[in-house]
Amino acid sequence: MKIVFAGTPEFSAHAMRAIVAAGHEIVLVLTQPDRRAGRGMHLKASPTKAEALKRNIPVLQPLTLKRDHVDVEKSTKAQEIYQHLAGLEFDAMVVVAYGLILPQEILDLASQNHRHGCFNIHASLLPRWRGAAPIQRAIERGDIKSGISIMQMDAGLDTGDVVLVGELKISPQETSASLHDRLADMGSELMVRVLSSIEQGTPLLRTAQALEGVTYANKILKNEAAIQWQLSAIEIERRIRAFNPFPGAISSLDHEPMKFWNACLPNKIAASQTKNPGEVLEINDGSVFVQCGDGVIEVLEMQKPGGKRMSAGACLSPYRSQEKIMQFQKDSVD
């Protein structure tokens, strides 16, 4: 089949590769405009754009798809995109973590002239965790399962009918990085199955989302990275895993900001009533134990500014001989 594909990060590029490998032709890619990144702040293409360029697939990067936008230049560009899609020969549209809202008129285009509509890979078990950051919020909340919902898109925020679902368990050691990779594999596989069903003429079973159990996964903000040590150990431990890789949990020791990449809940050290939240209780060869508002966490992996990720114990080994109290402080993150 001929597919219009809309997506931006690696999660969507993964799906794009699977769709092409399954024998479908992607005739157009919509992706976010290039962003400045890295120390030099050079413009960088999204993973989806990079994948499309390798395959010589045409790419469009509008700032909006709304033809009635108040900005005349953006509105004119959206009009050009609409006209291009209206005249393009394609069978269906696939949207994966695109980052722009598709107006109803675009969704209607995807269903006209014998087209099959617009389908989305969403990384949660809808209606739980609609929105921008379902993977991170599931880990932060302590969910025991996640999955993929292949959804027939409508104009709402992840409210369309679900046509296929896959489920998996979230392990106690899961980070957003590891869950992302597992869900990317599952989402790609399920999307290919849906496209295969459409191509073979097999009717899709559309299931309306339940009205109960709706939750929203708000976008992850950089200022959430600062560790609030007065929270409970379980809340902090979940956030450290949820914010790996972005934005990365951060706290300072002796005015040196450090990133926390992994942690767990220990059973060898009990919380102390006489210690302050953020106080380092013990440093061993592999890990570091830190007092929280309620309980203790065992930090497993850390990183100093400009350094490499390493075991927390190795990262803080220079501090082991100090007699003074070591206290992590909450950073303000812009």
With beta carbons less than 8 A apart as the criterion, state whether 46 and 37 touch. no
127 appears as a binding residue in the annotation: yes
245 appears as a binding residue in the annotation: no
Largest Cα–Cα distance in the chain?
Answer: 75
| CA dihedral sign, ordered 180, 186, 188, 190 | negative
Cα–Cα distance list, 305 to 12, 320, 330 (Å):
30, 19, 16
| CA dihedral sign, ordered 117, 192, 132, 33 | negative
Reference 277, options 301, 299, 295; nearest CA is: 295
Structure tokens at 321: 């001989």
Strands 256-264 and 249-253: antiparallel
Q: Using CA atoms, how far apart are residues 19 and 94, in angstroms rounded to an integer?
A: 10
168 appears as a binding residue in the annotation: no
Helix (H) or strand (E) holding 250: strand 249-253
Question: Which spans in 22-170 are helix H?
Answer: 47-54, 72-86, 104-109, 134-141
Q: Using CA atoms, how far apart are residues 9 and 2, in angstroms rounded to an integer?
A: 22
Amino acid at 11: F
Q: Using CA atoms, how far apart are residues 15 and 231, in angstroms rounded to an integer?
A: 38
* Residue 56 CB coordination number (10 Å): 6
Amino acid at 98: Y
Helix (H) or strand (E) holding 300: strand 296-303
The annotation places the binding site at 124-127
The annotation places the binding site for (6S)-5,6,7,8-tetrahydrofolate at 124-127
